[in-house]
Amino acid sequence: MTTRPAKDLLVTHLPPAAFQGVVPAIIATSDAEGTPNATYLSQVFLIDDRHVALSCQFFNKTKRNVLENPHACVFLHDPLTFETFRLYVKYLRAETTGPLFDRMSARIEAIASHTGMSGIFKLLSADVYEVTSIEAIEDFLEPAPAEPPTDEPIRHRNELASLQLVSVRASRATDLEGLLSGVLQALHEGFGFEHSMVLLLDESSERLTAIASHGYGDAGVGAEVRVGEGLIGTVARERCVLRVMGVGQELRYGRAIRATVHRQAGPRALRPEIPLPGLVDAQSQMAMPLIVGDRLIGVIAVESRSLVAFDAWHEAYLDIVGNQVAVAIDNMMDRDRETEVEPAPSSDDAPVVSSTTPSMEEPAGRVLRFRFYEGDDCVFAGDDYLIRNIPGRILWRLLRAYESTGRTDFSNRELRLDPTLGLPAIRDNLESRLVLLRKRLAQKCPDVKLVSTGRGLFRLELGCKIVLEDG
């Protein structure tokens, strides 16, 4: 047998990817009578040089065995190279509260909530084991075929320059839309994050709405996630960073449990699986809460189709970026509120028609029908869903004002003072709602635009005739 001696290895020497669950680890145990048991592990969590924690979701045979006989053997693979290790471990204790439990639980909850299994598939305990010895199994694979040497240059990390790029984009942005698009673009250029999004929290509805995305084409903006659902919702609720590699494997595991519960208890025991925004075939996901003081602003999320796209250092750097972005968003919203200009007339009864408003020159002959469904709180453009909740009500208010008075110039301030819109009295996120509304209009009906005309002021520009109908 070809193994490296145990004394040479600590758990912290093993490849970090081996602890990501992409290739599930195997655990062998034995009961007091000497009957062995083999099964997969959901999570092997690295604690320190001499300790790991294993997830316990069910009081199963493995758990019963280690309570009788604390010795176990864990078979672990690096998913990128299939370097293989055996960890000989000894069960010490089960933690059911505390930071270790919370960290492991959040990851499981992200998958459980995605698969409609919250409360059923959950962490019972983080079981802490002492690692008594480690073997590196060096003949698990046949030797790789010889490859011709390449001239590929050695890639040096340039994280500081990348951080600088993000910082410059954030600090030079003049509005929220520019801030978010600039930061996401910089994350791509600097860190290679091809797919990313920023979701902001609407505290009144306990939902997060994507107001900026990168790498999803037209899709993404406007997508909603409830707090507590999926990776992003769990990050918002727990206010912790989550990094999940091998997402497909995690989902398969969750769905296997779901199928078992379905067989045993019937479909009524289960909530439906939740469609979440993002890549349908993502294999790596990482999300970070955006927090200012003790307030959650939103979540920044990145994902990839690669099995192991994000490492611990990505997490640390995204944390720095997230903190800066959170403060920048908050400052920008405060600044917009403080420097808003009072519009000349503030009532729909006193129409203001700019002489330069292109919309008031006869719009083109096309007609676009908008319908507001009050019961569902959403606006359709033609037959297509456009937008819902407060941004939908804002749009409807603007279109109604235009229809009845021909008015095209509006202010943020009058929107804030309009109780029918349902904006929260404090931290109303109006600017982010307008960003979302602008983006949805650009995607779905580009003939309707909200164009900034000064700080806190904007104009409705129409390139078509509109007809408004109540749903």
Q: Which is nearer to another protein, 36 or 345 (CB)?
A: 36
| Rounded least distance, CB 271 to another protein, Å | 16
Interface residues with another protein (CB under 8 A) are 1-2, 23, 26-30, 32, 34-40, 42, 57-58, 60-61, 69, 71-75, 79, 81-82, 84, 86, 88, 137, 139-144, 246, 248-249, 252-253, 255-261, 263-264, 283, 307
Q: What's the distance, Cα to Cα, between the start and end of the chain in Å?
A: 74
| Rounded least distance, CB 137 to another protein, Å | 5
Give the β-pairing of 51-56 and 224-226: unpaired
**Diameter over CA atoms, the chain:** 91
Q: Which is nearer to another protein, 219 or 256 (CB)?
A: 256
Of the candidates 372, 399, 403, the residue with the CA atom closest to the CA atom of residue 388: 372
State the residue for tokens 């290895």: 9
Q: Compute the residue count for the chain.
A: 471
Buried b (16+ CB within 10 A) or exposed e, 375-409: eebbbbbeeeebbbbbbbbbbbbbbebbeeeebbb
CA pair distance 431, 458, nearest whole angstrom? 11
Q: Cβ-count burial of 121 within 10 angstroms (0-12 exposed, 13-18 middle, 19+ buried)?
A: buried
CA pair distance 12, 14, nearest whole angstrom? 5
Of the candidates 344, 112, 66, 371, the residue with the CA atom closest to the CA atom of residue 251: 112
| Rounded least distance, CB 309 to another protein, Å | 12
User: Across-strand partners of 152?
Assistant: none
CA pair distance 186, 192, nearest whole angstrom? 9
| Rounded least distance, CB 78 to another protein, Å | 10
Q: Which is nearer to another protein, 140 or 313 (CB)?
A: 140
| SS3 state of residue 202 | strand
Q: Which is nearer to another protein, 299 or 307 (CB)?
A: 307
Which residues lie closer than 8 Å to 408 by C-beta, 6 or more apart?
352, 353, 354, 357, 359, 360, 402, 459, 460, 461
Q: Which is nearer to another protein, 259 or 350 (CB)?
A: 259
Q: Which is nearer to another protein, 64 or 427 (CB)?
A: 64
Which residues lie closer than 8 Å to 69 by C-beta, 6 or more apart?
29, 30, 31, 32
| Rounded least distance, CB 251 to another protein, Å | 10
| Rounded least distance, CB 84 to another protein, Å | 7
Cα angle 314, 315, 319; round to 5: 115
| Rounded least distance, CB 131 to another protein, Å | 14
| Rounded least distance, CB 113 to another protein, Å | 17
| SS3 state of residue 132 | strand
Q: Which is nearer to another protein, 76 or 415 (CB)?
A: 76
User: Across-strand partners of 372?
Assistant: 379, 470
Chain centroid to CA 286: how far?
7
CA pair distance 270, 288, nearest whole angstrom? 28
| Rounded least distance, CB 331 to another protein, Å | 42
Q: Which is nearer to another protein, 6 or 26 (CB)?
A: 26
| Rounded least distance, CB 69 to another protein, Å | 5
Type and span of the H or E element at 326: helix 312-338
| Rounded least distance, CB 24 to another protein, Å | 9
Tokens of 114: 């995605």
Q: Which is nearer to another protein, 69 or 452 (CB)?
A: 69
Q: Which is nearer to another protein, 55 or 196 (CB)?
A: 55
Of the candidates 344, 466, 348, the residue with the CA atom closest to the CA atom of residue 404: 348
| Rounded least distance, CB 90 to another protein, Å | 10
